[in-house]
Structure 1
Amino acid sequence: MAEEQSGVTVVGVGVVRVPTTEAAVRLLVERREPQPGAAMREAAAVVAAALEVLRSAGVPDKDVRTAAVSVSPNKVWADEHEQIQGYDAQQRLHVRVTDLDVLDQLLGGLVDRCGTALQIDDLSLSGEPTAAARSLARRQAIEDAREKASDYAEFTGRTLGRAESVDETPDAQRPLPPPRGRMAMAAAASMPIAQGEDTTTVTVRVHWQFE
């Protein structure tokens, strides 16, 4: 018979605040024209103008990615059957901005050049944790786990011994933000951007021995 394991396994969490260092901007270019080719050409012209603005603001080409391109008929129901009333051409751009000081200038430039043909699907700020921040979060996670294990030892009349194993849970991928109502660029550019702070979280699973 296997020897019964003596001890308790607990989960500890450490959370450290870090300054925001970059912005992720999701842009949508959309044009509607009577013919699909015309819609594509008009959308391409808007995208080209947006790329010029991004380069002028110092955003490198590697931080700009086309996420999707589509052309589809705009169908409406009339006279008891579907009718095509033009074609919608779309291109979605994902932009990474690492210099937050240029964010207002960047949005304003897109407004001036692209107008309502370009919209913001989402803008989010995040921070990249330093090695020191991750180390502090790990320390807090272990201390959190020790406090929980000490409680269990006390409540069961045992003495807490040494930690026998420690597993760090990989960071979970952050969920994508839910779809929001699209904002015209002119409206977004007039809004001040509050940088605030982000957080880095470390989760550990620790087995503590009872003496």
Structure 2
Amino acid sequence: MIKMSRTAAVAALVTMGMFGGVAFADSGSESDLTKVTVDDTQSRITVGGQGSLSATPDVMRLNAGVEVRRASAGEAFADAREAAAKLTKALLDAGIQAKDMRTDELSLGPEYDNYPHVSGYRAAQGVEAVVRDIEAADRVVDAVAGVGEDVRLNGVSFEISNTRKALRAARDAAFKDAGIRAGQYAKLAGRELGRVLSISEEDLTPPPATFGGGALADKAFVSPGQQAVSVHVRVVYELV
């Protein structure tokens, strides 16, 4: 019968990913998997930590445009440009600054009833507008809708303009999370944690918040919701 010390046994289980899979760390989330490695020959443990903080987005990006169909290419393009000018004016009147608008589509092409017979021409021009006053979101959307039948509202997205404060808090939480996990595994291996040997930050890109159609009763129909700012760290601790 092969005998194995408690330290070596736990290290083997953790290194392989307990029961043939990746080891589950106690993070409170079933979907959060962390691979933990205990290297008993070098007296160190490597563990991942995650920190996340939810914040309310304060910037909205609106994608809108105009689209027309006419008998000739010249007529379609001219009418699309005229409609686009009306859309731009509506956005400016709604409080959007010129520097916060950019053209993100400009197209002109034939349409067919039965190829290659051309039935007309379609022209389109799109714009992305940055709404920095989130409380003005409904006013801006209403202004776009009021431009006319040629206007198209293609969607909105939300973001946090300054993520520094949220990232700092998420880093604190991620490092604490790594320490708790490492301490638990060290105890299981019959060891104690020593000094931190290295720290690496793996992912700090916040996922974009998207428009979900949520409504704020009697106030607004455009709701920014919440956006999670997450940080993942990998920390190597000395085992003593």
Answer yes or no: same fold by TM over 0.5: yes
Which residue matches 1:57?
A: 94
In the alignment, the residues of structure 1 paired with residue 164 and residue 119 of structure 2 have an alpha-carbon distance, to the nearest angstrom, of 56
More relative contact order, 1 or 2 (CA 8 Å, 6+ apart) = 1
Which residue matches 2:225?
A: 196
Which residue matches 2:169?
A: 136
Letter in 1 for 2:182: A
In the alignment, the residues of structure 1 paired with residue 208 and residue 221 of structure 2 have an alpha-carbon distance, to the nearest angstrom, of 25
Deviation at 1:199, TM superposition (A): 2.1
Alpha carbons 1:127, 1:199 under 8 Å: kept = no
In the alignment, the residues of structure 1 paired with residue 191 and residue 161 of structure 2 have an alpha-carbon distance, to the nearest angstrom, of 41
In the alignment, the residues of structure 2 paired with residue 33 and residue 174 of structure 1 have an alpha-carbon distance, to the nearest angstrom, of 41
1:161 aligns with 2:194: yes
Taking a change above 3 Å as real, the CA distance of residues 126 and 176 of structure 1, as seen in their structure-2 partners, is: closer
Q: 2:117 aligns with which of 83, 103, 114?
A: 83
Deviation at 1:85, TM superposition (A): 1.1
Per-residue displacement from partner, 1:8-64 (whole Å, max 9, x unpaired)?
A: 222211111222201011113211111111111111111101111111111111111
In the alignment, the residues of structure 2 paired with residue 175 and residue 138 of structure 1 have an alpha-carbon distance, to the nearest angstrom, of 19
Higher mean alpha-carbon deviation, 46-55 vs 199-208, is at 199-208
Q: How many residues align structurally?
A: 192
- Structure 2: gaps of 5 or more residues: 1-39, 211-219
Alpha carbons 1:8, 1:210 under 8 Å: kept = yes
In the alignment, the residues of structure 2 paired with residue 116 and residue 142 of structure 1 have an alpha-carbon distance, to the nearest angstrom, of 54
Alpha carbons 2:51, 2:177 under 8 Å: kept = yes
Taking a change above 3 Å as real, the CA distance of residues 109 and 22 of structure 1, as seen in their structure-2 partners, is: same
- Structure 1: gaps of 5 or more residues: 178-190
In the alignment, the residues of structure 2 paired with residue 5 and residue 203 of structure 1 have an alpha-carbon distance, to the nearest angstrom, of 24
Per-residue displacement from partner, 1:79-132 (whole Å, max 9, x unpaired)?
A: xx532111111122111101112211111122222x231112221122234533
For the residue of structure 1 that corresponds to 2:196, the secondary structure is strand
Q: 1:38 aligns with which of 75, 78, 81?
A: 75
* Percentage identity across paired residues of the two chains: 28
Q: 1:74 aligns with which of 90, 101, 111?
A: 111
Which residue matches 1:100?
A: 134
Letter in 2 for 1:199: A
Higher mean alpha-carbon deviation, 18-27 vs 163-172, is at 163-172
Alpha carbons 2:209, 2:226 under 8 Å: kept = no
**Structure having the larger proportion of residues in strand:** 1
- The alignment yields a C-alpha RMSD, in angstroms, of 2.2
In the alignment, the residues of structure 1 paired with residue 49 and residue 198 of structure 2 have an alpha-carbon distance, to the nearest angstrom, of 13
In the alignment, the residues of structure 2 paired with residue 6 and residue 47 of structure 1 have an alpha-carbon distance, to the nearest angstrom, of 66
Taking a change above 3 Å as real, the CA distance of residues 175 and 103 of structure 1, as seen in their structure-2 partners, is: closer
Per-residue displacement from partner, 1:163-206 (whole Å, max 9, x unpaired)?
A: 111111243374797xxxxxxxxxxxxx7112332221122111
For the residue of structure 2 that corresponds to 1:150, the secondary structure is helix
Structure with max Cα Rg: 2
Higher mean alpha-carbon deviation, 135-144 vs 164-173, is at 164-173
Letter in 2 for 1:92: G
